[in-house]
Chain A
Amino acid sequence: MHRTLFLAATLSLAAGTAAAEPEDEYTRLVAGFEQSVAEYRGEEAVVAPLLPDESPFHAQFLEAAGKHDDDKALPYLGWVLQNAPRNLKAHGAAVSAIEAIAKTRAEAVASERQLYQRSRKAVKHLKYNRVDDTVFAQTLLGAVTLARHAKSEDIRVASERSVFKLTRLQVGMVAPDIAGTDLDGVEFKLSDYRDKIVVVDFWGDW
């Protein structure tokens, strides 16, 4: 996950004795977090353990994001989006910050069809677990911008689906319920299977 960044942090610390450059705040915060949750991240774990809902890190990253009102906030917001899946306050604050940046992007959607295609490709790329924090935040920002500002209703609606996926369907989040009918026409809900391990498989016989 953050191993590359963590390594980079370690390396920069090692070199830090010679170069007196100020340490990058994002790298510093990530390194602090990684150290504190080392116990959660056994390399051998098949499924990543759940991170704690509450930690001082959520506030630290949000505070750092709050010092910027542009793209410089994205790494911090991406961290919160990916590390606070059930901390509704922190996650909601990060989404609001993305919404605020998107507000300033109205004119950026002039070539919205092209932007939309790029946005959907980026969303599709996030089909596995964690990615780079900046990439995640950029992808959400792109989708929110199109969902709010695109002239085409189709693009707005489809981009809203991207937003839903990125803010509600990520690892660590409580799955939204599914209600429908089975192949015999009997109504049921995904939540009927609460307390069981459930594999939801979107499939087709083609």
Chain B
Amino acid sequence: MYPHERSLVKKLADKPFALIGVNSDKDLEKLRGRVEAENITWRSFWNGPEGRGGPLSLEWDVMGWPTIYFIDGKGIIRERNKRNEEMDQIVTALLAEAEAL
């Protein structure tokens, strides 16, 4: 998952796009090490020491990992749970839609 998302973030660095994670690892120190090792450049909320039982994933009623939401510039949810090439296609389409406005 990381290589794909890393390349997407890099490819769209100069576009109005952001990948925002909500991380549910319990051990923050260990996680920081992993973020460094994997060169995870995008920002994440931390779901707290309860991990998958933390407040952010509970609020959004996340039932599986990863759970993915695509949100447009107006804050509207446009797609859910698409990965890899499909993720790229959706982001590209939403960027094109925003540019056409």
Contacts and interface: CB of A to CB of B under 8 A. Distances in A.
Interface of A: 45-48, 50, 86, 120, 123-124, 127-129, 161-162, 164-165, 169-176, 178, 180-183, 188, 190-191, 193-206
Interface string B32-76: 101100100001111100011001111111111111111111111
B19 A201 contact: yes
20 contacts: A47-B97, A48-B78, A127-B63, A129-B80, A174-B74, A175-B75, A181-B45, A181-B46, A182-B44, A182-B45, A182-B46, A183-B46, A190-B20, A194-B74, A197-B91, A198-B20, A198-B70, A199-B20, A200-B69, A203-B24
Contacts of A200: 20-22, 68-69, 71
Interface in B9-41: 15-25, 28, 31-32, 34-35, 38
Contacts of B24: 202-204
Contact of B77 (A161, A171, A180, A196): A171
A197 B95 CA distance: 7
A87 to B, nearest CB: 13
A193 B74 CA distance: 10
A106 B82 CA distance: 38
Given A174-B76, A178-B56, A190-B20, A197 B81 contact: no
Nearest to A125: B63
B74 to A, nearest CB: 8
Nearest to A181: B46
Given A47-B93, A171-B78, A201-B21, A183 B73 contact: no
B60 A204 contact: no
A37 to B, nearest CB: 17
A203 B60 contact: no
Contacts of B69: 169, 175, 199-200
Interface residues of B, number: 63
A121 to B, nearest CB: 10
B73 A172 contact: no
Given A127-B64, A202-B68, A193 B20 contact: yes
B71 A203 contact: no
Contact of A171 (B44, B79, B95, B97): B79
Nearest to A173: B77
Given A183-B46, A205-B34, A197 B72 contact: yes
Contacts of A205: 23, 25, 31, 34, 38
Which are the 10 A-B pairs with shortest beta-carbon distances?
A180-B45, A165-B61, A46-B93, A161-B61, A202-B67, A196-B16, A200-B69, A198-B71, A204-B24, A197-B94
